[in-house]
A and B are shown apart, each in its own frame.
Chain A
Amino acid sequence: AQSVSQHNHHVILSEAASLELGCNYSYGGTVNLFWYVQYPGQHLQLLLKYFSGDPLVKGIKGFEAEFIKSKFSFNLRKPSVQWSDTAEYFCAVNGILEGFKTIFGAGTRLFVKA
């Protein structure tokens, strides 16, 4: 069965600090990988996704993530966070053989101090 593990439940950073949120998944086959973000009071929305090609993917607002197949990881990074990045971030995985079913991690709440 698929599973997703996010390493940190709460992260507090100051503005301009670098961010890395860890995500590991458990699935033996080909995967699609996602990071979703939920800003306070807003819908959950896609931040970035990987489904093939270059393992380093870039998303909106300066975020990027790297798929490392050998480590079953898909960590999210941003070189310099802003106060407006305060949100909850969810890693998600869709195993190709699982069809349309996507499994989400528990989420990481990021608070950026101005």
Chain B
Amino acid sequence: DVKVTQSSRYLVKRTGEKVFLECVQDMDHENMFWYRQDPGLGLRLIYFSYDVKMKEKGDIPEGYSVSREKKERFSLILESASTNQTSMYLCASSPQKSSSYEQYFGPGTRLTVT
């Protein structure tokens, strides 16, 4: 069964802290994605990666960075957390060989920055 896991379901951090969100998938997928989900805005792509050590900016990369050292793991980093980064963060993966690029999602991490 396809599985994407995220390191925390809930996280509370202070303004200015460095925050790491971890995502692991066990399907041997090449592509991995980080989104943030906000009410009324849907899912917005922050970064994605199509191979180890490769990354591409999404629509809202400002204030974020990513790391992909291993195929199964994709980390999202908030270098200096700010209150406007309070959100639900979703990780997803998809196989490159798929003709339709459907994505498989993790449970999400609800981050609150105070």
Chain B residues with CB under 8 Å of A6's CB are 42
Contact A104 B102 (CB under 8 A): no
Contact B94 A51 (CB under 8 A): no
Contact B43 A101 (CB under 8 A): no
Instruction: Answer whether residue B61 sits at the interface, using C-beta atoms and an 8 A cutoff.
Output: no
Instruction: Answer whether residue B48 sits at the interface, using C-beta atoms and an 8 A cutoff.
Output: yes
Instruction: Answer whether residue A9 sits at the interface, using C-beta atoms and an 8 A cutoff.
Output: yes
Bits for B53-86, please: 1 = Cβ < 8 Å to A, else 0: 0001010000000000000000000000000000
Neighbour of B102 across the interface among A46, A90, A101, CB < 8 A: A46
State in angstroms the CA–CA spacing of A32 and B102 once bound together.
9
Contact B94 A100 (CB under 8 A): yes
Instruction: Answer whether residue B105 sits at the interface, using C-beta atoms and an 8 A cutoff.
Output: yes
Interface size in chain A (residues, C-beta < 8 A):
26
Contact B101 A107 (CB under 8 A): no
Instruction: Answer whether residue A102 sits at the interface, using C-beta atoms and an 8 A cutoff.
Output: yes
B47 → chain A closest CB, angstroms: 11
Name the residue of chain B whose CB is nearest to the CB of A108.
B42
Contact B90 A105 (CB under 8 A): no
A24 → chain B closest CB, angstroms: 14
Contact B90 A106 (CB under 8 A): no
Extra A-B contacts (4), CB below 8 Å, given A42-B107, A101-B56: A32-B101, A44-B92, A46-B103, A101-B45
Cβ contacts A to B, 24 pairs, < 8 Å: A6-B42, A34-B100, A34-B102, A42-B107, A43-B105, A43-B107, A43-B108, A44-B43, A44-B90, A44-B92, A44-B105, A45-B105, A49-B102, A51-B100, A90-B43, A94-B100, A94-B101, A99-B50, A100-B48, A101-B45, A101-B48, A101-B58, A106-B41, A106-B42
